[in-house]
Amino acid sequence: MSRQGRGAPTLRKAIPMTDFPLATEKLRLGYGSSIIIPELDLRVAGGRVTSIIGPNGCGKSTLLRALARLLPVGSGQIHLYGQALHALPSREVARRLAILPQGPTAPEGLSVEELVWFGRHPHQGRFPVRREEDREAVTWALDQTGMRIFAGRPLESLSGGQRQRAWIAMSLAQQTDILLLDEPTTYLDPSHQLEVLHLAQRLNREQGKTVVMVLHDLNQAVRYSDDLIAMKGGEVVAQGEAGTVLTPELLREVFDLKAHILADPDTGKPHVIPYALTR
Amino acid sequence: MIHTSRYTGRRALFIGVLLLGAALLLGILALGLGAVKTPTGDVVQVLLGRGDELTRQLVLELRAPRIVVALLTGAMFAASGAMMQGVIRNPLASPDIIGVGAGAGLAATLFLLAWPGAPPGGLPWAALAGAWAGFALVLLLSREWGGHTGNALHPVRLALVGVAVAAALGAAQQLVLVRAPDGLGAALSFLTGTVYGADAVRAARVLPWALVLLPAALLCARTLDVLNLGEDLATSLGTRVGAARLFCLAVAVALAGAAVTGAGILGFVGLLAPHLARLLVGARHARLLPVAMLLGAVLVLAADTLGRALLPPTEVPAGIFTTLVGAPYFLYLLRRTR
């Protein structure tokens, strides 16, 4: 059964909160007087790739940003491995959770390697002494993203896909268990989109990282995620294994779409072909 | 590799050494200038601890304080501007644009009028308070209240409000000076932006602030780099953005406030020097800040030296030259900023 209604699956309620990299409890989010997410109880499974999908304005980016303490919490709690996120020192959070926000910008002339070094910031003390482990982390991050050959290049001389990989490399240099990506494929051409998604999947498979992404493309979300969270109007409509969440009913309810659903020839997961609007 | 970043540490070091040399050369040149010209050879002799008593006195006691004040205030305005541009992420931010300089000037004037016998060390504190007041005023007036963009500061809006507030505060200061007793008015006229008449007292007033705040600015370099990536990324990297911004701004405002008590408002030094430094060595603050400081120091000393050499015995205030160069550049930035 994939449709668990809003909130967390009852089955997982029994598992202690400390087992979940990220969880929310009666979370309310908004800007000023406008409430975007009224009340949310969510659990993100560890060691898996989870994608949040939903129409524009459904609160998916707001949720992701709040999970990374980029937004103040209206009320309720966010837990990082069972600990209250906002009570933890920001620097400590940055050693366990990295987020790449949408449309990051860097000052002109900054080289890829200089950018990746920023990822070591939460690990360094008051004075930026470059220890061996920092050097290794930077090299590793450059290797993982295939950016080593571009290490000396200024960011603005790179293509969109390369630049996005450089930013991901910076997040990787933080060496966190949890990686959050806010629409990492936006403005990239199809091949660069796949590069980024493959990278996210590989980091999960090889490093055991918990990856949470906001994605717009439904088929990419299904194909490259283990779990899906579907949101509408600030509420979770469905959550569960990627292969089971996307149903014709869900697409109608969340996206107002009528769609054919085929089986992906490689993964057997659903492949969505929208053909009409229900509105 | 074809496109290696042109901003390297070696390049920054080279430029730094070059600027240091320029400052030294200009300093020696300026030490020889005056009603009685001292040959450069004699100045060097004095600096090496030799030379006759009269020349020593002339060079070290009468002329050196002015050079020191020029170098220090230039460096302080430049560092202040570089930090403000980094924290506010606004290319137009600088001490004279965001009300800090004018606030400090007015406060210093009022302080000396109200308490003529005050110990010389008190003036920078008054200037500091005024600097904060001016800054707060500009910030308050340029905020767009309400709506989603409650905290958004549009660069051009900030500059407009800043210029208006600076003009108003400057006028208030002029008014106070006009009404002031003759002696005091003359003593305060330097606040409009000159190192003319800078003596050992003025040098001693600025020096401790420079010795504390300039290194403090350099210590902020990495924090400024992280803040420069924007609020989201800075938070993501574990920086407490609010506290970090406040600390850096406090250092920047204090730098400008203290500098005003040395040389008044030297127009646009805090805008020009950091921009020039960024062009030369890039945006990393560990390189940008020292190079901007050196540039500011050289800029003010050059302006002052030029002002003295141009139409002797008339002395053209250094602030006039820096403004003559800075204002067109400010207009250019204003046009380019959306």
Rounded distance, CA A160 to CA A186, Å?
A: 10
Chain B residues whose CB is inside 8 A of the A111 CB are: 4-5, 7
Predicted-complex ipTM score: 0.86
Query: Is B75 within the bounds of a domain?
Result: yes
Answer yes or no: do B232 and A108 touch at CB < 8 A: no
B141 part of a folded domain: yes
Classify residue B292: in a domain, yes or no: yes
Tokens of B49: 């601890």
Burial classification of residue A35, based on how many CB atoms lie within 10 Å of its CB (0-12 exposed, 13-18 middle, 19 or more buried): middle
Q: What is the pLDDT of residue A143?
A: 92
Measured CA to CA in angstroms, residue A19 lies from A10, A22, A51, A82, A89 at distances of: 15, 9, 19, 7, 20
A104 vs B150, B226, B230: nearest CB: B230
Contact between B86 and B228 (Cβ < 8 Å): yes
Q: Which residues from B are below 8 Å from A89, CB to CB?
A: 238
Look up the CATH superfamily of A10-104+177-277. P-loop containing nucleotide triphosphate hydrolases (3.40.50.300)
| Domain total in chain B | 1
Q: What is the pLDDT along chain B (338 residues), one digit of tens a residue?
A: 445 666 777 888 888 999 999 988 888 888 887 767 778 888 888 888 787 888 777 778 788 888 999 999 999 999 999 999 888 877 888 888 888 888 888 888 888 888 877 777 788 898 899 999 998 888 888 776 544 444 556 667 777 888 888 889 888 888 888 777 776 766 677 777 777 777 788 888 889 999 999 999 999 999 999 998 888 899 999 998 888 888 898 899 999 989 988 888 887 899 899 999 988 888 889 899 999 999 999 999 998 888 888 877 777 888 888 888 888 888 888 787 66
B92 located within any domain: yes
Who among B5, B150, B238 is closest to A90 (CB)? B238
Residue B14 included in any domain: no
Distances (CA, A) of B150 to A31, B94, B137, B234: 10, 23, 17, 20
Task: Residue B12: list chain A partners with CB under 8 A.
Answer: none
Distance CA B103, CA B81 (A): 15
Report the predicted TM-score, pTM, of the whole model to 2 decimal places. Answer: 0.85
* Assigned domain for B319 exists: yes
Distance from CA of B282 to the nearest CA of A (A): 6
Domain parsing of chain A, residue ranges = 10-104+177-277
**Is B237 part of the contact surface with chain A (CB cutoff 8 Å)?**
yes
Identify the pLDDT of residue B89: 79
SS3 of residue A225 by DSSP: coil
The CATH number for B97's domain is: 1.10.3470.10
Side chain identity at residue B159, one-letter code:
A
Q: Which domain holds residue B69?
A: 65-336
C-alpha angle B162-B153-B75 in degrees, rounded to nearest 5: 55
Render pLDDT for A99-134 as a digit per residue (tens, 0 to 9). 999 888 888 888 899 999 999 999 987 777 788 899
Distances (CA, A) of A15 to A12, A141, A142, A209, B121: 5, 33, 37, 20, 65
Residue B330 in any domain: the answer is yes
Distant-in-sequence contacts of A273-276, Cβ < 8 A, 24+ apart: none
